[in-house]
Every structure is written in C-alpha cells, then in structure tokens.
Amino acid sequence: MTYGVVTDAIFRKGVFMKKLIAVVFGGRSTEHHVSCISACSIIESLDKDLFDVIMIGITQDGDWLPYSGPTEKLKDGSWESSATPATGLCAGIAQLEKCDCILPVLHGQNGEDGTVQGLFELLDLPYVGCNVLSSAICMDKVYTKIILEDAGIPQCDYIVAHRHCILADPHAYEEAVASKLGYPCFIKPSNSGSSVGAMKVNSPEELHNALYEAQQFDRKILIEKYVRGREIECAVLGNLAPLATVPGEIKPSAEFYDYDDKYVNGSSISIIPADIPAQTADTIKAYALRAYEACDCSGLSRIDFFLCKDDSNNENIILLNEINTLPGFTDISMYGKLWLNEGVPFTDLLTRLINLAFERKKQNARRTSK
C-alpha cells in the first residue's frame, strides 16, 4: 500500500488511482447522533474525483457495520436497518484493511479520546486527526488544564471532583467550591464533549444535584469558576507547521452554548471574524497554536476561548476553555465556517485533512526491529 500524499501520489504506474477512504461514524458515545450528521456532511462533500468512500457505522452497542445505502439515512439512524449484519469488530476491520486512509467522524468517548486511534495505529493505517496521546489528553479536561498551565496559557480556576467522593458524601466539595470558586460555577464531566452533562449551578443545593448528574458521565468532574464572557473559537489545521484561522464568535441562544444550540436547533449565531480588536485576535491565535503544539495535536482541532472584561481596568481577559480534536462537521459547525472564511471551501478542507493524515504517517515512521 502506498502512503503518498494525495496531491503528490495520485498516479501509480502511470494510471490515475483514486484513494479509498473509510469514513467511520456513530460510536458508543452520547454524541452518536451528532457523529452521524457530521459523517453525512463529510461524505457528501468529499472530492469524488480523488476519493472513493466506504462507510462503516458503529452502533451504540459497539457493532461495526459496513453500510452502502443513502447518506440521508445517517441523519435519522435508519442506516442501521440496512447495514451489513455483523457483530463486533470483524466486518468493520475487514473493510478498514482495504482502505488507503481512515476518516473517523467520531465525537466524544470511544472516538475522540484515543481509543479508536489506537486501533488505527495497530492496523498501521493513516487516519485523519490527532494521534492517540493528544486525543486522550484533550478529551480529558483535567489533564488538558495541567498541560495548559505548564504552557503558560490562561484558563478558568477549577477544582477536580471524583465520583467515589460524590457518592460517599454529597457535601464533599461544598466548602472548596465556596472558598475557591464561589457561585455560580460550572460542572463538566472531565471526559465528555458537546457540552453533554455540563451545567451551571447557583447554590450548594444545585451543586449536589449537578455533581450527581455529571458523575454518571465520568468518574472525574471538573468544577470551574463561572466567567461572564464572549465565546470565541479558533480553528487550527496542520502537523509540524500548523495554521490558525481568525477567531469567530458564537452567540448562543441559551444561557450557554449547550448541546441543543450546537447540534439540534441551530439557533446560535456565528460571527466570523469576531468583532474584537486586532491585537486580541492575534493573541487568541497565538494561544491556540501554543496549546495545539503543547498537547502534540496534529491534523485539526478547534480551540475554544472565553473573552472577558477586567472590571478594574476594562481590559480584555482571554481564557482558554477547551480543545476539540474532532470538532463537529455539521452544516452549522464552526470549524468548517472558519476555514471557509479563510478561502478554503469544505471539499478542499477535507482533502487537506486527508493529505495531512498521509503526511503524518510518513513523519511518524520508525523502526520496529533492532
């Protein structure tokens, strides 16, 4: 199998050969439905002159099902009824091994956290997106914060809570929250995306309920200081020399940018570029690139920030919120919109991401014997 970059190696023995891309979607995750919608958008937008596509859907029970029907069926989940009957990994792995490159469209746990990336590494196939380590780091909000702190990137104050402590004593974190963070504050499962399980709490009573709810999604919970700020996002693309877009702003229709706003009702407003001073935009881009490199990201990420005002001097305060290694690719998703503003249409963006997967495969080559 040839691992050449698409634009440099589309001919073999003088004959044009399309690359065969496996689009993997669904997954055992609370973001299963979002993944299917993103996959539909990606499959319909891939350059059909360069790529042939096979689809592999992962059910919420963990079955890997090859699928060859209409992409529209991905949106409502009806694809499962017409997929190739199979159980476990076998049918999916057999399909993956035929491919030149894998394009995982898997959000959240078991897809964005390094687990499936490890499988792709074992198959020795190039794949779009961050590697095992960076995927795992960025999915875990607690460890992301540890690395960002070491890199000197400002972020919200926080406390780490644990499931066993919450279940043993509902009041376990009440004193720490009151003394270090105050109210309101935010509760987030450490390993979850798309704001699943995230809640704003205003009192100790709400804190108890929110912690109990959040621990159902992960054994580690992040309790963050509430900041009143604008939601600014920056898209990063690349491997060893990544590029960042101008920042865009999300104006949520809800109190904060939650799951429904991101993927269901689409009623949030995207402003690209964000209406912020040029120096602030440059600082956000610099922080985004520094965070991307500190977490050893490659391929792509969307870096999310809060932009707040210092009450004492009215100056802008920039706080990094999250790093998303496999951001949404729905029609209303910010990552594609940010690159479109930079003059990169969605189809070209997907081609670049696949190129970067082949490129990283070459860059990461190493001996496996003495």
Second-level CATH architecture of 138-154+228-325:
2-Layer Sandwich (3.30)
- Asked if CATH classification 3.40.50.20 holds for the domain at 11-128, the reply, yes or no, is yes
* Predicted pLDDT of residue 257: 47
Burial class (CB in 10 A: 0-12, 13-18, 19+), 209: middle
Average pLDDT over all residues of the chain: 89
299-311: pLDDT as tens digits: 999 999 999 988 7
Does this model's pTM top 0.95? My answer is no
Q: What is the pLDDT of residue 193?
A: 60
Tokens (6 digits) for 332 = 């209303």
DSSP β-bridge partners for residue 18: none
Q: What is the pLDDT of residue 4?
A: 43
Tell me the HSE value of 77 on the side-chain side, using a 13 A CA sphere: 7
The reported pLDDT for the residue numbered 358 is 97
The distance of Cα 230 from the centroid of its chain, to the nearest Å, equals 20
Residue 122 tokens, joined = 């074992």
The CATH number given to 158-225 is: 3.30.1490.20
Quick: pLDDT tens for 209-237: 999 999 998 999 999 999 989 999 999 99
Question: In the structure encoding, which two tokens stand for residue 50, read together?
Answer: 């360069």
Q: How many CA atoms lie within 13 A of 14 on its CB side?
A: 0
Segments making up each domain of the chain, as ranges? 11-128, 138-154+228-325, 158-225
Position 73 confidence tier, pLDDT thresholds 50, 70, 90: very high
pLDDT tens digits, residue range 159-193? 999 999 999 998 999 999 999 999 999 999 998 76
Q: For residue 261, is pLDDT > 70? A: no
Q: How many CB atoms lie within 10 A of CB 312?
A: 6
Can you give the pLDDT at residue 86?
Answer: 66
Is the pLDDT reported for residue 51 higher than 60? yes
Three-state DSSP state, 207:
helix
Position 125: which residue type?
L
Averaged pLDDT for residues 120-124 = 95
CB 65 within 8 A of CB 90: no
